[in-house]
Amino acid sequence: MEILLIRHGQSQADLEDRHEGRADFPLTELGVRQARAAAEWIKEHYPPDLIITSPLQRASKTAEIIGEAVQVPIQFDPALMEWNNGLLAGLLRSEAAQRFPLPEGGRKPHDTCAETESLIDFRARAETFWSEFTYTYVHPQCYERVALVSHGGMINMLFHSFLALPVVGDIVYSTGDTGIHLWSMTPRGRRIIFANRLEHLQRV
């Protein structure tokens, strides 16, 4: 089975330099064009049989555009939402730095400062989603290919879950706006086929 991971397009928060996380900003006009370009590329190269998306509108709109292009059903799963950034959500980054400075020595894996989700809890959410997804869709295999539309932070966490990496480490998997990753899972093991494909943005 193959799994497509897709990040949403540019959102209004990106333009305004705001902390996004759980703040529910819409796609910009450019973000919509990015999603349409991604949808056409996916339709041409790796059309999924099902799309599962975060319900936050920047992701759900991206998923809707892809779903319209490939004509497959869409499911919403709140577990795919971005890191819960608590009181930071929606704040200008400059304002957040003044109101909620990082703890001395930086954020610890257990920290919930500014009422945020801790790194440990964020990873646990990704692990729970991945376990439920695996036992629902992979064992037994229900589809040839499933697309997951989510956010940069959660996609990074899913990479860590997929590769069984430790909670604390210095490895980060970056994803650009509408960046596309492809994984496969077979009885012989797990494979990363490609990561952060962005050539579809040449059409924007």
Residues in the chain: 204
Find, among 78, 74, 70, 68, the residue nearest to 52 by Cα.
Answer: 74
Phi, psi at 195, each rounded to 5°: -140, 140
Catalytic, out of 8, 151, 181, 200: 8
Q: Terminal CA-to-CA distance of the chain, rounded, Å?
A: 30
Which residue, chain included where needed, has tokens 């497959």?
72
Q: Identify whether 151 is a catalytic site residue.
A: no
Say how far apart CA 8 and CA 58 lie, in whole Å: 6
Which residue, chain included where needed, has tokens 């705001």?
18
Strands (E), the chain: 2-7, 50-53, 74-76, 145-150, 180-186, 189-197
Q: Identify whether 82 is a catalytic site residue.
A: yes
Catalytic, out of 2, 20, 82, 117: 82
Which residue, chain included where needed, has tokens 């193959």?
2
On the 0-12 / 13-18 / 19+ scale of CB atoms within 10 A, 9 is buried
Q: Which residues are catalytic?
A: 8, 82
